[in-house]
Structure 1
Amino acid sequence: MLTFLDENARAILPAEHPIPTIHDPALARAARARSTRVSGAHPHLDDNARFEALESLGDCCVTAAVGRAIYAHLSSEGRVPRPVIFNAYRDLLASNVTLAQLALIYNLGPSLDPPLHAKFAERETLPKAAIKILGDAFEAHAGALSIEERHVEAGDWLCAVFRRACAWAVEAVEQCTRARRAKDFASTEPLVAFSVAVQPSTSSPSPPTPKCGCSKRALSIFVRERGLRYDTETQPSFHTRLVFNNGDVFAATETTKQLAEQEAARRALSVYAPERLRPVNHACCDRK
């Protein structure tokens, strides 16, 4: 996984931007009630439900703070916050991977119920389940601060944290942007070549001509060109009727189903487009 927060960040963030403490004991317990068990069960179901709500609220708080931080970061550099760059920062900073690293930096794991003992040095080898739990815990803490009506304090703290993270993420964002551009170019290059290859001719196209006298194929081409439609009705006695949507009906009875359909199609062509009748070569119809 892409990690851009290092030991320098682990030393600076808690010292310069300490995490605000949750004052309400019940909220503090709920913000730590995420179970690390595989089953997801928790002995205090009410606390676990509150955690889910705090996590959802915290997600909104984090998203808003990330957006503010990115905008301020790009504006301070005299750059126009173009969507492609803005989104690259947002995707990185608001990811569970980054939030899990912040949870490790602020040592939230040991306070979970049950505790999740993971070290910051192990951040690159954390399993996905642990990343999800730690990221959720960080969001739940922000949500609890919001419930205590400390919106300004929580927002300023989050924004300050993510402003510092923006500065540390410059190289990682450039790496992601280059990779995305390369991927987009690789996926669109064949389409560009294809679009050039299929440019329509300036001359009037001639109607396609079957390679043999297969009446069924010739009739199919004709009805597509004219916007007609017909249903094939073949009875057990090999009696075929072509019923067109304009009311015309062409029928034929033969010893086999294929011969009956071919004869009905030939009769339709003899009326609609006799110039398309060709000597019959049923081998073309037998190809899969």
Structure 2
Amino acid sequence: MVNIQSLDPTASPLDYYGWELRRQREAHGLKQGQLGEIIFCTGSLIGQIETTKKVPTRDFSERVDAALGTDGLFSRLIGLVLRSQLPTWFQPYAEMEAKAAYISTYQAQVVYGLLQTEEYARAVLTAGKNEQLDRLLAARIERQRILDWERPPLTLVILDEAVLHRPIGGRGVMRRQLEHLVELGTHRWIRIQVLPLTAGEHPGLAGAFNILRFEDHPDVFYTEDMMAGHMTANPDTIKEASLHYAHLQAAALSVRDSAALIARVVEERYEDRTERDPVA
């Protein structure tokens, strides 16, 4: 087993977290098993996190802070740790997303990451055959915390209607995901619109894209292909993308009609018939 003391705490946020966890634990005179008993986990898990073999969760971090009296240290570190688990090419976008005052996104294939349920996100990530599935999933869920901030970004979402009909993860997963969208649509700072299939040709045919706007930073345009993400603050690109987004908003259903359509799709395609139909 790798000795935690051989880790370089400056190598990565995860290395620092593991190094600091062991330092704090030993400073309190606790063995791994003893700390595990206090925070209701195994000593083995403590060891795996201290040696960076396993990525900690936010719940774990909060329990460690409470047990060791570390004044929120690990709760603050966990955001940085989880963000570092995102693909290297995606990390710059995630950092900008967390600072944005406005997020405008058009999605043609899947629900926008900030609005995904955990099981839907898992199904999407599994489709990419990711070896680090649990780490990527934890990082994606961590991104969503910005929607719960006291001052969250105004998030404008346009989903192609095809997203609603693509049964990612199966009927149950889709039902709960779409019900989650309806619920999110009541959030003061979230507006969800559906671009109907009847819209025909439209500016979004080239693919999904995001526009981030800031209070003290130039706007950013982001898109991605199968292998990488592409981000730019070029004013001409921003102007063109904003025009495309305006056209998509005009062609999309209203927020109210979009919610009604999502609810109808749930009923018609993903309703849990086992709850209605008696067993023969």
- The verdict on a shared fold, with TM-score over 0.5 as the criterion, is no
Q: Which has the higher strand share?
A: 2
Q: Which has the higher helix share?
A: 1
Greater relative contact order: 1 or 2 (C-alpha under 8 angstroms, separation 6 or more)? 1
Q: How high is the TM-score relative to the length of structure 1?
A: 0.19
